[in-house]
Amino acid sequence: MTRDRNERVSGERRLLSRRSVLATLGTLPVITAATSVLDATEAAAATAVIDPSAQRQTIRGFGGMAHAAWIGDLTAAQRETAFGNGDGKLGFTVLRIPVGENQSDWSRDLATAQRAVELGATVIASPWNPPASMTETFVRGSQTNAKRLKYSAYAAYAQHLNSFVTYMRNNGVNLYGISVQNEPDYAYDWTWWTADEIVRFLRENAGVIGTRVIAPESFQYVKSMSDPILNDSVALANVDIIGAHLYGTPYSNFPYPLFKQKGAGKELWMTEVYYPNSSDSADLWPQALDVGEHIHHAMVDAEFQAYVWWYIRRSYGPMREDGQISKRGAVMAQFARFVRPGYVRIEATANPASNVYVSAYRGGDSIVIVAVNKGSSAVTQQFTLANGTASSASSWVTDASRNVAPQAPVGITNGSLTVTLPALSVTTFVTAGSGGPSPSPSSSPTPTPSPSPTGGTGTAPRVAYTMNAWNTGFTANISITNTGTSAINGWTLVFTLPAGQTITSGWNATYSPSSGQVSARNVSYNATIAPGATIDIGFQATHTGNTAEPTAFTLNGIPCTVV
């Protein structure tokens, strides 16, 4: 991506108007205030049913890009605003950084990445170009100096990416994933890749990269860039995250049936966008409310697991140049501060009234509901928690005059709460107490029989353990995949925490004891793991200096494959 898509800055790449490209494609969003104006009086909406037992995708987080070489690094205070989670903070849990062509540039974004990790964020990285020695020019249509990676340099490029992973790890940043190429299909000023070239690189070279691999990061979620990966079993085995950008992508193109069909065990991330697709001030209202609807569709229709903005600090970004959060940032914070990594999106009535958009998420015993009202009048909205036992909900609102402002608690009676959604607003509700059915101690699921490693009734499950550590603490996410042909009904995952590590809280499982050999047992809503399915659990813990990871896991007594 350029420094800015719609403004010219000295020293930047030649600007090809994003607006002209998208307009040609017929998908540029048209931004008008009139689309938000409907009724003039308060309206009633249909009941929105929230069902904690109907799980969808696991959320990895919300965040943005830092690019010190192009716009300067975030200051120490701005890092706290971006990745802190209190009042006046964005609550971001994902940071995206560039992979420099030259190793001498790799330290530019290190300080921000280190602090983001200390504050519990996940870091990913994307390259715009390989080292110059690995590229060649070719003719692409009217472009006579188009650039691509030489096939003879594929192996060296994979080592280049892996060296960046190693450099960051040696400096305290364990990358969650690294991309093959930023926007390979919009590369007028960087490196072009065809879908076939990406598949070939994944098949032949990506296996040496020591973290999760992201591809293809198409600028407009062009499925012809990612379909070949999903349709090639070898390439698919060597990619972990299908990444996409959403510049000008219509909502009708958000769903991805082929990924749902063939992407088992893989993740689906939206790794770059700004929306509305203009460099207008981020404090325009109600234009900034469009961000809330966009995130809603990204979570509900596309079922992305992460939503990553372009520049964190910019006039059109979530943080203004003065370091304060903007109206667009406040709308993002309504999601980011409350829907945390490891939470699971659950089924909710997505559109209970005209211009009202609802999504819901579960983390432990809490339910988070985010409701966007783009109408010009307030809406009386009832939410019903299926099988819920929560007693009250806290809430926060952003509208024309307020930014993530706390509101009085709302009572929940017989699993229902009725609230007023202000005109042109986004409101987040967080339940207190159990938001759904919880197993009682006397009715915990019985684990399946424990076969021997050499020939029992099961196939070795697959476990991925991801750790983000800071000075005295860390978070861990554990993905469990059922590689067998029959469902797992009731499970216990056993692992040993290294010395000095103690669990302080967890989600999507019950953990006992808090140190030493730990048993993580299913909760009611994830007791069954279908064949080929993956569930995610996690915890937060303290450490005394030892940040080693568990080396072995068993699920119902079966030794797991650790990836």
Tell me how far the alpha carbon of residue 510 is from its chain's centroid.
24
Distances in Å between the Cα of 551 and the Cα atoms of 121, 140, 148, 254 are 23, 49, 40, 38
The owner of tokens 């579960």 is 362
* CB-based contact 272:311 (threshold 8 Å): no
Q: Residues near 290 by Cβ (< 8 Å), separated by ≥ 6? A: 29, 31, 275, 276, 374
Tell me how far the alpha carbon of residue 329 is from its chain's centroid.
16
Give me the catalytic one of 118, 183, 197, 217: 183
* CB-based contact 332:312 (threshold 8 Å): no
> Reduced to 3 states, what is the DSSP secondary structure of residue 246?
coil
Q: How many CB atoms lie within 10 A of CB 517?
A: 10
> Reduced to 3 states, what is the DSSP secondary structure of residue 69?
helix
How far is Cα 245 from Cα 254, in angstroms, rounded to an integer?
Answer: 11
The verdict on whether 272 is a catalytic residue reads yes
Q: What is the identity of the amino acid at 189? A: D
How far is Cα 361 from Cα 59, in angstroms, rounded to an integer?
Answer: 9
Distances in Å between the Cα of 235 and the Cα atoms of 180, 182, 242, 330 are 12, 18, 12, 39
**Crossing angle of the two packed helices 327-336 and 289-300, in degrees rounded to 10:** 30
Q: Residues near 292 by Cβ (< 8 Å), separated by ≥ 6? A: 331, 334, 335, 357, 370, 372, 374, 426
Give me the catalytic one of 101, 197, 217, 272: 272
What does the block give as tokens for 526? 């994830």
Q: Beta strands of 336-491 (E only): which ranges?
A: 344-348, 356-363, 366-373, 379-385, 392-398, 405-411, 416-421, 425-432, 462-469, 473-481, 488-489
The verdict on whether 42 is a catalytic residue reads no
* CB-based contact 501:546 (threshold 8 Å): yes
- Positions marked active-site: 183, 272
